[in-house]
Structures are given as structure tokens and as C-alpha cells.
Structure 1
Amino acid sequence: MMFLQQIDWHPVILSIRVAIIATIVVTCLGLPLTRLLARREFYGKDVLEAAITLPLVLPPSVVGYGLLLLIGKNGLLGKALADVGITFVFTWWAAVLASTAVAFPLMYQSAKAAFMSVDVNFEKVARTLGASELRIFFTITLPLAWPGILAGLVLTFARALGEFGATLMVAGNIPGQTQTIPTAIYFAVESGNNVMARTLVGIITIFSFLVIFWVNRWAKKQNY
């Protein structure tokens, strides 16, 4: 076990932190948007949904380059932020942004299917009884759609935990600052540090397995 003491644990801690924050952001932004799109029809909806799910099929490096165009020092948003002294590129917050961007479509697809499976008649009855839309969402829609949403949460967390391409583009690989598990594994292999690479691979594999295993067990108990 001596080799574990020689491992730099910062990538592990940072990856978990990034995945948790990205999952929270995706959930807070994704659920209201998904709920709205699942129940409303309007002109241009198909275009909007295609744009939302686009990161799911684009190479992560393309997503990362797009984020650079947005938050880079000469980017549309990055230039305005730089004027007030805020920089995102090559910080761990850029890793959060990259993970959020690539994981968002997974939550959207899972939550959309979950919301579409909810019987709208339950919501209509609640409205006739005077319930507000907010109360309907939290007491009827969300509990009924929860299994699908939980699946989306797990997929979002796992995707954010394993994000590599987009993260490398916008956050780089700065040891002790922006180095996550995937980037640490890649550069450990490149430098011939197989002990570091194997250890990190084992950690992220076991951790991801335990998360999925726990969620599956929890969901199974809920069905009984």
C-alpha cells in the first residue's frame, strides 16, 4: 500500500468536485427547461432540441473548441469577463463548464422521457383543485418522473467524471490546479508512469461501479 501514498490525489478530489458541481448545474438548468419543452409546442422547438443534444454527437474536442470561442480571452463572453478581471480558461471552473456542456444532453434526454411518461391527467386534476404550477411540479410531476430523472443524474455524474476532450481544451492539464483523473491518466501513460495510470484507472472504475450499483439497488427497492 506504500505506492498509494505516492499517488497525487488532487486529480481524484478535483474530478469528484467537478462532477458534483456539474451535476448540480445540469439539474438546476435542465429540469425546468426539459419540463417546459416536454409540455409545450412552438415554432423552432425542433431546432432548439437539436442544439441542446448536439454535444452528445459532436467530438468532445469540438465542444471544447466551441467553449474556447465563447470564454476565451477574445471570445464572445470571455472578453467581457476579462474586462472585469474574471478568467475562466485554464481554471478548474472551465472544467466544470466543459463537463456541464457535454453532460447536459444526457440529463435532457432522460428527463424528457421521464416527463413524457407522466400522465397529464394527474396534473389537470391538481389544477382544477387550485394547485399552483410549482406545487404540481414538486408534488406530482417530479415524484412520478423521478426514476427517469435519477437515471439522468447518474449518467450526468458519470459523464462529468470521465470528461476528457473538452476539459483538456479549456482547462488544460495543470497539476494541482486543473488536472482531473482522465487528463492525469493520459499524461501518466504518455510519460510512462504506469503505476499512476493503473491506480487512477482502478479508482475511477471502482468509484463509478459503486455509484451505479448503489443507484440500481436503490431503484430496485423503490419498485417493491
Structure 2
Amino acid sequence: LILGGDGGGAPITFGEQEIVEAITWGSGAFNPFQTPAVLVADWLGLLILGGSAIFLYVIITNFHGPRGDEKYFAGYREEKMMSIYVNSFAAYAYYARCASHANGDIGAVAYIHLLKYVDYLFTCPLLTADLLCTLNLPFKITYPYFVWLNIGCGVGCSKFVGPARYMWFGLGASFFCVAWYSVYVIVAMRLRQIAGSKM
């Protein structure tokens, strides 16, 4: 790896900045991932989200239906378990961050900031699907897919310099508008129906 490029003026390309930072942090310089606030926040995130996932799993899997006689009520209706998937995967990402902290956040684990995007790529579409399933709305796969594409554009936007960054930003903003408006329209429709039925 040639850090300076031709004459030291070439821009650092994808991945090289993190390698430079990892080398720098390993030499004893300030490491932002090792501050007490970051360490405490990540451990709290792991404990809270992991505990929530376990609690929800126990509650949901022990529910035996309205009549109380269906042993695998949630097992046959796994769309009702998406809150477990969201919390458990978020806890999984926090666990990876805590493991990185244990290694001093140097070397390959210095890519810790990418873990939030891995988390978002799974949890944001699942949250969208959970909302659509809870309200029994259409497009339970299509709209979460739009959200997934939007988050993926965020990854590209954060990792590159212009003009590629601006191209990713523009595409991501377009997907966000489409996803947000699409979900808003059908959720508003269902809420109006619910409000009308209670009058």
C-alpha cells in the first residue's frame, strides 16, 4: 500500500483511509472508538437490544392463540415475530462493535463504523415490513425492498468522494422519497379506515 500516491498528493481511495487510521490508532494516537462514551453506549445497546429480543421471544412464543390451545401460534405466523428479528440483529451488530473494542479497534476491526450500515440494511427494511404486516397492508416485500435500496445508497455515499458520492446521494434521495411516500399513502389509508370504523 502506497499511502501518499504519486508525490504524496493523490487522493486516498476506497479502504485506504481506514487502513491509515488503523495504523495511526495502533501507534498510540487518539482513537475515537475507544472513548468511554462510545464504549458505554455500545455495551448499553447490546444489553438493551439483546434483552428486548429475549423478552419478546419468550412472550411471543408462549402465546398460544386467542383460545389458548394452539401451541405454535407464532410459529405459523412468523411475520408477527419481526420485532424479535430487528432487536436481535441490532444486538448482534452491537456485539460486533463490543468485540472490536476489546481488540482496541485496530487492524481489520477498525472498519467498525461499517457495522451500523450492516445493521441498517437488515433492520430498517424489517421495521418497514413489520409496520405493513401489523396493519395488514399490501406491498409487504416491495416497500421494504425500496428501503433496503435506500440504505445501500447511503453506504456508497459514505465511502466515496465526488462525483460518485453525489451520484449515490441523488439515487438514495430518490429511493427515500419513493419509499417514504409509498408507505405514507397506504398507512394513512389504513388509519383513516380504523378511525372511521370506531366512529
- Normalised to the residue count of structure 2, the TM-score between the two structures is 0.32
Larger Rg: 2
